[in-house]
Every structure is written in C-alpha cells, then in structure tokens.
Copies of this chain bind each other. A is one copy, B any other.
Amino acid sequence: MDLELNDDYIAQLEADLQAGKAAQRAREMTEVHPADIAEVVESLSLEAAKALIHALDDEQSAEVLVELDEDQRAEILEEYSGKEIATGLISNLDSDDAADLINELSADRKREVMHSIEDPDQAKDIAELLVYQENTAGALMATELVKVNVNWNVLQCVKEMRKQAEHVDQVHSVYVVDDQNRLLGTLSLKKLLTTSTRSPISEVYNKSIKSVEATEDGASVGITMQKYDMVVMPVINALGQLLGRITIDDVLDLIREEAKEDYNLASGLTEEVESDDNVMTITRARLPWLVIGLMGGILAAAVIGRYEDTIGELPKMAFFIPLIAAMGGNVGVQSSAIVVQALAGKTLMGTLWARLVKEVLVALLNGLICSVLIIGAGLLLGYGTRLSLVVALALLIVILAAALIGTSVPIVLDKYKIDPALATGPFITTMNDILGLFIYFTIGHLILGV
C-alpha cells in the first residue's frame, strides 16, 4: 500500500494524532512500508510523531525509527526507557541496525539497553559489532546469515538452512565454512536446486569468493562491490573466519553520502544540508565559506591596493580584474575535480609528475586558445594592443599556475589523509584568484610601465 504524500494528508494526520486518534491512524498503516511511514513522520510535529510511533506495533515502530533522521530519532527515543528500547525495538532489528541505534545513545543509556536485551546471543552479537570503528566493514555488517559446513551433504544443508532461516529476514547467499568457521565459498540456490540431495557440499560449492576483513574501510568495500556487481559481501576476521555480511544497500548509503559531501564541497556548502532544513541550519552550512570568500576578497583588495597608482593612471587595467580572477578559479576547480574523482574511484594512474606534465599540456592548449581569443576581442573592442597583450599573457600564465595548483593540492591532501575534495572548495579558488591578480598586475606594471 502506498501513502499519498501531500500537504492535506499531513495536516489531517497531524490533527488526528493531536486529537488522540493515534491508534486508528496507526491501524491504517499496517501494510505500509516503514520507509514511507518514516517520510510521513519527518513532516510531523515531535508530539504527533511520538504518538504515531507509539501506536504502531513493535516491529513496525522499530523499522520506522531506523529510517528516521538521527536527530528526530534521538528526540523520540528520549520517551523510551532502556528496557523498552531493548525489548520493544532492538529485538525486532537486524544486528547491524540494532548496533547503529545503540551507538547513538549516551554511555549510560547504552549500558542500560545492553543489559536489558533478553536474548543472550543477540546481546553478544551486538556487543561484538559495537567494537568496530564507524564506517569500517565490521560496523556495517550484520551477523544474521545462513552458513553450512563443507563436510555436510546437500540434505543436511537444507535441514540446517531451514533452522537458520528462521532468524534471517532475507537469505541473499548461503556461505560454506570449514570446522573452524573459516570461509571457503558459497552455495548457490541454483546448485542447491539442481543437485542430488546426497551430493557432498564439498563437490558442489563455488570456491571463488571475494570477502573483506572487518577492519577495511566501508567506502572501499562499496567500490569493490560495485566493480564486481555484488549484492552481498561476506566479512571475515584476520584468521579468515566468517563474521557477517554487508548488503549493497548499506554501503550504498555510505557511497551516496560521500558523493554528496564532495558535491557540497564543490558548491561551497560545509555540512550536509537538505532543502527542507530550517533557515538557521542552511545559513550555518553556507556562512563559513562565504566568510572565506570574504577574507579572500579583502586580501585581493590589498593586492590590487599595491597598484593604486597604476589604476589611477590607467583605469582600463581594472576592467579585466573579473576575467583574470574568474579564469584562475575555474581552471583550478576543473583540474581538482578530475583528480578528486580519480582518487575517489581509485583509478588515478601514474605518478604525480606524470599527471603534472599532462596537466601542463592541457593548460597550455587551453591557455593558448583563450589568449588568442582575448587578444582578438581586445583589439576588436578597442582596448589597445599593449593592454590586450598584457591580459593575454597574464591569462596564459594564470591558467598554467591554476592548473598546477588544482592538480597537486588534492594529491598532496590525499597523501596526508585529508579529504582531497576540500581542494574544490572556496579556499583554493580564492587563493587562485589572488595569485591571478598578482600575476596580472605584475605583468601590467612591467609591460605598460605604469
């Protein structure tokens, strides 16, 4: 069942929830997907949201809570006691979602919840997951999976799988392990269906399998899964023992967040910001880089200030300030963006030097074309030969310098484990602007002698 998500629906729901009709409205939603309910909840007032979540049955409310914004989830969870979280919510979640939810609680509450989990196996699984650092394979994985022993035959496997499947929502893959729980391969549903029940597993399982260690970075797991078109990836420890599995939807969220971060950096936004965030949040996300731009502008004013006499004598010099500044910034961002994407996809080939040589060639070509165009335009529009020459020469040098800076900064940042995407932000752009103006006025001073 789908909800019709419009302003009228939300307004009516909000009114009903405020009027104490939560149970009735929750009953209408028993067939609705938790992701859809979460979307509705995000548009409700805190009070109404709490009423609705409380009125849903435990399994549904747990799944809706997982889909919510972290902030809203925290506000709603304040109403719950540690025991309610453990028995009502955690017991209805997969281990990875449960661990994520518990990780967001304060230290006290975390302890309270962990001690209230009734199933000792689940408590142990979650406790193990809580050890892994954020965004590593270990923190992303769930421990629910179906595995069989390599020494069994197909019939034994089916029996065992039947038992295990009770605890697993969706069976993506059946893993084959040895007596020490070391991952050996997978058993495909196809093989299971098409071989005799007496066949030993050792003869029918698929031995070529990719896996990752629990300490590996989540984003790089995502790149591997995309490269090999994998839907689920097994996670092992240093001994090769099977710990859990990561499904593509979990790493997708991570990949999407990183892509969004890069995009935001390139567009001058400092934090994750949505169009429906409030005015203060959006302002906060945008102000830092405007202030950097402001400081850059003040610095640029100081640079130009050194040539006040030049401008006084030849005001035409000022005409091309925006052109020089804009072109330096544009070339720098272009160069950085190519490197940033190559670094993110791990496809950056060759050495820094090889890249710089190539970048110089591209910049020379672009720079020469732009310089010729600007000389033509300058003469045509009557700015005079000497000024046109100054602008063209400055432009060529600015494009070369900006390309070199734009290429090397992200590579250097990456080397020191700083996010290379920062290079596409206003900091480098502003630096390029100022450098460009300095080059322009120096050349103007030398050639025009003013």
- Residues of A whose CB lies within 8 Å of any CB of B are 1, 7, 31, 33, 35, 43, 158, 161-162, 165-166, 168-172, 188-190, 193-194, 208, 210, 226-231, 247-249, 252, 256, 259-260, 262-264, 266-269, 273-276, 279, 282-283, 286-287, 289-291, 293-294, 296-298, 300-302, 304-305, 308-309, 311-312, 315-316, 318-327, 329-331, 333-334, 336-339, 341-342, 347-350, 355, 358, 361-362, 365-366, 369-370, 373-374, 377, 381, 383, 399, 424, 426, 429-430, 433-434, 437
Contact = CB atoms under 8 A, between A and B. Distances in A.
A433 B370 contact: no
A145 B78 CA distance: 46
B308 A316 contact: yes
What DSSP secondary structure best describes chain A's contact surface? helix
- Per assembly, the copies of the chain total 2
A433 B326 contact: yes
B430 A267 contact: no
A388 B28 CA distance: 61
Contacts of A293: 323, 326-327, 330
B325 A322 contact: yes
Contacts of A1: 208
Given A189-B189, A321-B322, A330-B426, 12 more contacts: A33-B210, A35-B229, A169-B190, A170-B190, A230-B249, A266-B267, A269-B338, A274-B338, A283-B365, A312-B315, A322-B325, A325-B325
A286 B362 contact: yes
A231 B429 CA distance: 41
B165 A327 contact: no
A301 B279 contact: no
A189 B165 contact: yes
Nearest to A272: B341
A289 B300 CA distance: 24
A430 B31 CA distance: 51
A33 B228 contact: yes
Contacts of A330: 268, 289-290, 293, 426
Contact of A247 (B168, B231, B322): B231
Given A269-B334, A269-B337, A339-B275, A369 B326 contact: no
Contact of A338 (B31, B231, B273, B327): B273
Nearest to A259: B259
